[in-house]
Structure 1
Amino acid sequence: MRLRPLLLATLVCATVPAWADSSACMDNASTQMAMNECVGRELKAADQKLNDTYRTLLSKVSKEGAEQLRKAQRAWLAWRDAQCTFDTMGTRGGSINSMQTAMCVEKLTQAQTAHLAAQLHCKEGDVSCGGQ
């Protein structure tokens, strides 16, 4: 079941306590469960930022651009999940797997957020940007 690690990471995100600082959180985490909670909190924040950026971009593009953005985002989500399943195969079955999966998803989510945000801040004359 390749979705099991992502489901576990999602459940971790939903139950994460609201610690003030994620780096302090990891520094003070002494169990795998505590580390999972820290990483889950970071993933939740990254996912929220991606969703905000996506919605902002969606509101600024044409109808055709919105259709293509939705299609691209769905494809990206499927790729991200498959990529992280592949990347974390070495930890499958271990207690660290959900943390490794969440870290992978967070990293790729941050990259996608930056990619979408770039479309919101096109430089003048860049014909590959903002024409949607």
Structure 2
Amino acid sequence: MRLTLVALLCVSASTWAAQPDCSNAPTQTAMNECVGKSLKAADQKLNETYRTLAAKISKDGAEQLKKTQRAWLAWRDAQCEFDSMGSRDGSIHSMIQAMCVEDLTKAQTKRLDAQMHCQEGDIIGCGGQ
């Protein structure tokens, strides 16, 4: 038991020590890790918001939401591929592309969240679901 606890503490300490300081990441690899973590958090928030909205709206609304979200994902990825073309051959490319995906993901989360707060009778921008 004591040996297991010591081993866990050593693994935890080494894992913690390996985490980059995202406020001042010193290398491209560290910056990529930080952007990756931030993107993952934004993606999780988008998925939570999507599931909450899908559960709240009508069956027809949920089907349209699913189609819309799939189309949006394809657009987002294509848009970020286009936006990051200038860095395509550089070591910064994956970070630039991930930052673009994160920005568009946050905007889509905000858009979906707004759908959950529509006032009755609001037909502009609320999908009528």
State the TM bucket, normalised to the shorter chain.
0.7 to 0.9
Which secondary structure state, in structure 2, belongs to the residue aligned with residue 36 of structure 1? helix
- Hey, which bits of structure 1, 4+ residues long, moved more than 2 A? 24-28
Q: Do the aligned residues in 2 keep the contact of 1:50 with 1:112 (CA within 8 Å)?
A: yes
Distance 1:63 1:91 in 2: 43
**Partner residue in 1 for 2:83:** 87
Task: Name 2:28's counterpart in structure 1.
Answer: 32
Count of residues paired in the alignment: 112
User: 1:28 offset after TM fit, Å?
Assistant: 2.6
Task: Give the residue type in structure 2 aligned to 1:114.
Answer: K
Shift of 1:98: 0.3
Deviation per CA, 1:28-82: give whole Å up to 9, x if none: 3100000000000100000000000000000011111111000000000000000
Alignment of 1:1-132 (within 5 A): 25-128=21-124, 129=126, 131-132=128-129
- In the alignment, residue 96 of structure 1 is paired with which amino acid? I
Q: Secondary structure of 1:94's match?
A: coil
Distance 2:16 2:115 in 1: 32
Work out the CA distance in 1 between the residues paired with 2:123 and 2:68. 19
The one-letter code of the counterpart of 1:85 is E
The CA RMSD over aligned residues, in Å, is: 1.9
- Relative to the length of structure 2, the TM-score reads 0.80
Q: Secondary structure at the match of 1:104?
A: helix
Looking at structure 1, the residues matched to 25 and 111 of structure 2 have their Cα atoms a distance apart, in angstroms, of: 32
User: What stretches of structure 1 of length at least 5 have no aligned partner?
Assistant: 1-16
**Residue identity in the other structure for 1:111:** A
